[in-house]
Structure 1
């Protein structure tokens, strides 16, 4: 994140069950959305350039957002994020916003007026003339009655100088107390003290913090549950995830626990935040790892990992999205959500909040719905509902936009049309035991189904999301025309 980054920074768990052929279990059921009788359109334009200036900050809602962290408290969702804006309209102090439904968001402003004092003193000591330009990648967690907000303070002009600070409050809205520096790095250190996140061991109660970006990968260090600081003040922790070389782009780590599967999932972002950002994941039986990828490889070992959960993509009738990474994760009762920024492909400096429903395959891997979350009613998805015309996206590339191709799921269980730009010569589909199985040429995909809002065609639809044998996400949405 630090390398060149300063130059560009500004600029439900759906529970699947088996009822007959298949059922998506939800609190409300309705008929298939062919009549589209109720309009769930959130009326949120993707291009917000006309209101991007700070004088319109009250209208930002889901806009001007990067590196979000999310929490729910007393029925309200809160997101904290990096200081960014389209154009030179930002401010330094951690942006935050709130929502009652994960769809309509209210921008609340900035938590701090600049960098807090203790962290500022550190930066000024090691970089004379330090400029308070932005605070990056906050992470929020509640411990007992206390809210703990970890955040990153980066050096100016690409200097690999940074610290992770901690602020506390009795309310997610503040006021916040500056507790001080949790960990820091100097330019000579082989790690990067930014992008914090915290996970608590569900069995032992031990606290662990992940952090790191580019320089030597992602680290994990144990925290003192009482103070929120490192258990051993001299401990930088151990390596948790790496790529092929020092300075390869890996950052934005966050871990979520699934108590039903009894697994911890480590999400990390690869590559450049403006376009080729893509998210990978590994899993472990313990929060401290090791985290193994789709093929059983240790994420701390040399090499890139799978599966790929997100990458740049585009459905028909829309310019598409890129820079889709650095996610926050939320378990809300029996539902899971993935939140991150995505950049409009027609203007990569427009950064929009994406909230997506997250599910788990029968093999226990997380996947996200291809459409942004709107709380449309769920209904029994039968084989008759699946049959029809679909737009299908396969995340085969991280360097270009993955576009949608038309495919028809025929009533006889065959699939015709196109997949990933190639004519489907061998295509089959089957819906059984709550899972959609697809054979698309040489690829086999296990997918989950859900009811979603079609943002491009402005109507209700059904979507699938799954993983292929290559560990790449395959997405689809049904087209009703």
Structure 2
């Protein structure tokens, strides 16, 4: 493992105090978040039982709510502590990384929460299932879905995501140690297809889809799989140490079970290639001029709505590195089918989701841009820089409409340009995310 060994995930460190009163937390202390929207349009955020300032007010998966994904209100925990079966198996004192999904069940709508129970540094872990009629609850525990044992198993049963693919359900899960897996789930019961009975753990662990070698502490976690436009799937996952080098990478596959590959064709299960070059980095530590900046952003989920997709993730703050909070960013798809992430945080009603109004001509890109390049080391908070884009620099760029631009040849580009809200200057602006000629991702905002 890495610096994560310093403290358990449920109580990682004490930094500059924010408040011991959860009602004042807002976005703070939301770790490993996932967000859903109820049938009335209210957003609900579920996250790990974590408090950077002192003892937890309770355990059982934190819940927050919001009308706009910008302002969050803490409302308590989903469950009253760690459910008995999961606690007895793992010895956990709190729940980690809950994933919540709306399911159309035979007797109406059912919300399913897959939570993780573990103790830090141990592979004796369990993913459990709880259900509720509404995200606000009441939540009822149903038992363990999959469990691992430290001395028996190579991987760790935590960090679950339920992926619904037509009539098939899959549990995408795993963290550090032996890698990430996909396990078949019974759509009716919510338990593994090969479980001896509902409420009992799976008989197998599913298919391996990603791993890293011991040279980098096998450091990957927090998988989230989403459909890719035009077919196939994209895997969003977090790499490296939660303390300072955490960041988000992506890979794609034709099948849910893999193989997942990056733009260079590297397979995500490869243990022989350079572990720093496998996977495409789409979000990492950085600081825009005048902004607080992000330190070790990651453990992301994707909220999919009718007109948009949003990356929901936690981040630490460069000037308060022991503090963490939830942030939301737009996820966009390039013309070549790669998911990239906006550099500006989500601004609610100020955002423009009508892609038909996004830039359609190359001439709109001429001007001064503040950019961040994710090609550098992830242990550094990369500063932004200004780039003057001229018409000559855009030669060969092809517009595909709806903000998509590509260029072939010796300096290939695969970019999306879209409206955003400049959080520093407090004005609407164009933003972009692009796969750049040197093989990394560059993001930015037009400032002149």
Structure 1 distance, partners of 2:126, 2:358, is 50
1:406 to 386, 392, 395: 386
Once the two structures are superposed, residues 62-104 of structure 1 have per-residue CA deviations (whole angstroms, 9 ceiling, x without a partner) of 2211111122221122111111122214232211112222222
Task: Within 5 Å, give how 1:321-400 maps onto structure 2.
Answer: 321-374=294-347, 375-378=349-352, 379=357, 381=359, 383=362, 385-397=364-376, 398-400=378-380
4+ residue runs over 6 A deviation: none
Contact 1:451 1:463 in 2 (8 A): yes
User: Structure 1: which 5+ residue stretches go unaligned?
Assistant: 12-47, 124-129, 416-426
Task: Within 5 Å, give how 1:213-232 maps onto structure 2.
Answer: 213-232=175-194
Asked if 1:163 corresponds to 2:126, the answer is: yes
Q: What is residue 21 of structure 1 aligned with on the other side?
A: none
Structure 2 distance, partners of 1:438, 1:478, is 20
Q: What is residue 252 of structure 1 aligned with on the other side?
A: 222
Once the two structures are superposed, residues 398-426 of structure 1 have per-residue CA deviations (whole angstroms, 9 ceiling, x without a partner) of 2212221111123xx145xxxxxxxxxxx
1:172 to 131, 135, 153: 135
Once the two structures are superposed, residues 367-403 of structure 1 have per-residue CA deviations (whole angstroms, 9 ceiling, x without a partner) of 1111011132545535554322211111012221222
Q: What is residue 282 of structure 1 aligned with on the other side?
A: 251
Give 1:274 deviation, angstroms. 2.0
Task: Within 5 Å, give how 1:80-229 maps onto structure 2.
Answer: 80-90=46-56, 91-123=58-90, 130=91, 132=93, 134-144=94-104, 145-155=109-119, 158-188=121-151, 189-202=153-166, 205-229=167-191
Give 1:446 deviation, angstroms. 2.2
- Which of 1 and 2 has higher RCO (CA within 8 Å, sep 6+)? 1
Q: What is residue 466 of structure 1 aligned with on the other side?
A: 434
Structure 1 distance, partners of 2:223, 2:395, is 37
Structure 2 distance, partners of 1:190, 1:223, is 21
Task: Within 5 Å, give how 1:52-63 maps onto structure 2.
Answer: 52-55=18-21, 57-63=22-28
2:45 to 79, 84, 96: 79
Task: Within 5 Å, give how 1:439-458 maps onto structure 2.
Answer: 444-458=412-426
TM-score norm. by structure 2 comes to 0.86
Q: What is residue 69 of structure 1 aligned with on the other side?
A: 34
Structure 1 distance, partners of 2:159, 2:53, is 23
2:241 to 272, 275, 287: 272
Superposed CA RMSD? 2.5
Once the two structures are superposed, residues 9-59 of structure 1 have per-residue CA deviations (whole angstroms, 9 ceiling, x without a partner) of 534xxxxxxxxxxxxxxxxxxxxxxxxxxxxxxxxxxxx956x3232x223
Contact 1:445 1:474 in 2 (8 A): no
Structure 2 distance, partners of 1:60, 1:174, is 21
Structure 2 distance, partners of 1:5, 1:428, is 51
TM-score norm. by structure 1 comes to 0.81
Structure 1 distance, partners of 2:248, 2:373, is 14
User: Structure 2: which 5+ residue stretches go unaligned?
Assistant: 196-202
Give 1:244 deviation, angstroms. 2.6
Give 1:319 deviation, angstroms. 4.2
Contact 1:414 1:429 in 2 (8 A): no
Give 1:429 deviation, angstroms. 8.0
